[in-house]
Structure 1
Amino acid sequence: MSEKTYALAGPIRKTCDLFRLLAGHEVLGLTPGEIAKGLSVSPSWVSVNLPALATTGYVEQVAGTNRWRLGVQFVRIATTVATNLNAAKRQLDDVSARYSVPL
């Protein structure tokens, strides 16, 4: 059975590509030029979109530099997912332990 595919609007796809590009550069970030090259977009795309996205908290400018990285919202999402997965694992471990006791 194949998954249904959906068309993704160009700007949304490009924004997702930006998030993937910035992943792994959480400390030093990337320069606007590196971002433009990595996404195959114009420098003007970068200069318009990064400040706009910064208002959401999903990207941020590295303090005192002209470099950009993923913002705190991604850390909050990752922390929430990790917390929920750990809780689910504990529940499964508890169930598994109860079922492993012989009759």
Structure 2
Amino acid sequence: MPETGLPAAAESKTGNEIEADTAVGEISWEDGNAVMDLALTMLSPDQRTAFLHRYIQRSGSTEALLADLSRDLPQEKRNQLADILGAVAERLRSF
């Protein structure tokens, strides 16, 4: 093992990459909250932007994105989300 105590394969990885490897092994891919928390914690700001843009692209349509954003949410939570998305849309247009 190298001086760091890490396996040779991990020697060239950054701290975040090593933490991500560990965290990925500990989360359930069926737990969407955990997966999102991991992604937002481990990605740089530029990577988070690309991640979110790609998610929207992959959803395929406004209807599919709406379904993903609203599935199983009570009306109060949908209203809160709509307020947030409305404010985001307004600010995106003013950049």
TM-score w.r.t. length of structure 2: 0.29
Higher RCO (CA 8 Å, separation ≥ 6 residues): 1
Would you tell me which structure has more helix in proportion to its own residues? Answer: 2
TM-score w.r.t. length of structure 1: 0.27
Would you tell me which structure has more strand in proportion to its own residues? Answer: 1
